[in-house]
Amino acid sequence: MAGEISLLDKFGIDIGYKTTVSKTVTETDIAMFAGVSSDFNPVHMNEEYAKKTFFGTRIAHGVISMGLLSAAGTQLPGVTILLSMSAKFLKPTHIGDTITAVGEIAAVRKDKNIVTMKTKCTNQKGEVTLEGETVLKLFEEPELTKYYPKKQ
């Protein structure tokens, strides 16, 4: 509507806005993800098997890092809904790696409250393990959230 401020303007969201989430990937994370997804690939689950692969040891499911990028998107104000995500895996994530997922807004559609984030994950050594793009749609938070705060 004419004269109405966009939700992105209301939230102060524009190109260059960044969000970040970090997590150390544990044995439990891998086991829980395998249980939820039914992805029991032995390169994730069996050290003896993984030792014989070109990785030389077990690796985490790549989608765990993508999940951290999804979590980084939820750091935006309001309610965020994932529309699409793409990823290029550059290095494996190992048990004990601390992954930092960063999303930086590269494009905005203020008329649709949609943002496109360039995304990447790095490990504790500063190595980029994943690069990609995430598209999110933002909505106002429902009134109920004043009783159950999303972000602190």
Instruction: Classify residue 113 as left (phi > 0), alpha (psi -120 to 50) or beta.
Output: left
For residue 122, give the CATH number of its domain.
3.10.129.10
Task: Judge whether 95 lies within some domain.
Answer: yes
Task: Judge whether 147 lies within some domain.
Answer: no
Task: Judge whether 92 lies within some domain.
Answer: yes
Please state the pTM of the whole predicted model.
Answer: 0.88
Is the CB of residue 62 less than 8 Å from the CB of residue 83?
A: no
21: how many CB neighbours lie within 10 A of its CB? Answer: 19
Q: What is the mean pLDDT of the chain?
A: 93
Task: Judge whether 35 lies within some domain.
Answer: yes
Task: Judge whether 145 lies within some domain.
Answer: no
* Chain segment 89-108, per-residue pLDDT in tens: 999 999 999 999 999 999 99
Per-residue pLDDT, 95: 97
Task: Judge whether 121 lies within some domain.
Answer: yes
Per-residue pLDDT, 1: 47
Stretch 127-135: mean pLDDT: 98
Stretch 109-132: mean pLDDT: 98
Domain that holds residue 124: 7-140
The count of structural domains within the chain is 1
